[in-house]
Amino acid sequence: MELKITVRVCEVCKSTERPATRYTLTPEGGEPVTRDLCADDAAPLEAAFGPLVPSEKPSPLAAFQAELLKLMEDHERETRARRARREAEWREQNPEPAKKAPAKKAPAKRAAPAKKAAAKKAPAKKVGTKSMTVAEIEALKAEGKQ
């Protein structure tokens, strides 16, 4: 099965977002020229020569795509407006608390020079897990059972 897809793009702006219509322009005594134009790029010709007649009817798919694009843009615009309204309502109901000024700190005091201790310090206590031999463990077990 063969599938043929034709995409028509405006020859002036090359925009894929706007549907293009095929026009055949025939100058008096000359050869016909076919151009694909979007509504924006066909507007100057319509202003100069009046309404142009498309050489082909727009495909139903192109009309559907244009309508779908318009609906999506409208929906996006409405969603942004709705979100802005809700955010404004929320801000009215939940005002931000006033910010407190940072507390001033007292100036630091100078420390007195340390005096050398005359007395000897006590030895540091060992910290950690105590090691025991197997004999010591057996002795503790025997004491606990009696």
Backbone angles phi, psi at 14, to 5 degrees: 60, 25
pTM: 0.34
pLDDT in tens, 21-39: 888 877 788 888 888 888 8
Band (84; pLDDT cuts 50, 70, 90): very high
What pLDDT, in 10s, does the model give residues 30-81? 888 888 888 888 888 788 777 777 766 666 776 787 788 889 999 999 999 9
